[in-house]
Amino acid sequence: MTLLFKTTEETEQYGGTLFKSLGDSRLVFLTGDLGAGKTTLVRGVLRSLGYQGIVKSPTYTLVEEYTAGGVRIVHFDLYRVKDPEELEWIGIRDYLQQEAYCFIEWPEMGFGYLPKPDCNFQLWSGEAGHSLELLE
């Protein structure tokens, strides 16, 4: 099933719906080109939990941590990772073992190093807006 969002606001709003549907799924992969709405979706998750601060893509920092509504969210962006072994340097194993929801953008950059996700989403951006599909 593919969902279509005509605006960025709709994509962000869906983040709250997505979060409620995750249940115990704590490792979420977000795959898609630049501008596909990956960070917007994570921002929506955080907004649904009451977070009002800035939510930006951790493209340069690789990881951003948030606490909102008593929930810990860890947001990764692996776009700039050249070798999956770099994930060890940022302590990704420690993050993944914590009681937190981990959203990983560009998970293909950690192929062979990252564990299998609980949920894997593909996002696209086009003239009609953003679309999201749950992958197997």
User: Which residues span the domain enclosing 100?
Assistant: 2-135
> Helix 38-48 vs helix 8-22: angle between axes, to the nearest 10 degrees?
60
Which pLDDT tens digit goes with each residue over 4-39? 999 999 999 999 999 999 988 999 999 999 999 999
Q: Identify whether the C-beta of residue 51 lies closer than 8 Å to the C-beta of residue 66.
A: yes
Per the structure, how many domains does the chain have?
1
Task: Give dist(CA 72, CA 66) in Å, integer.
Answer: 6
Residue type, 46: L
Give CA–CA dist 103/136, Å, rounded. 16
Q: Is the pTM of this model over 0.85?
A: yes
- The size of the chain, in residues, is 136
For residue 58, what is the domain's CATH number?
3.40.50.300
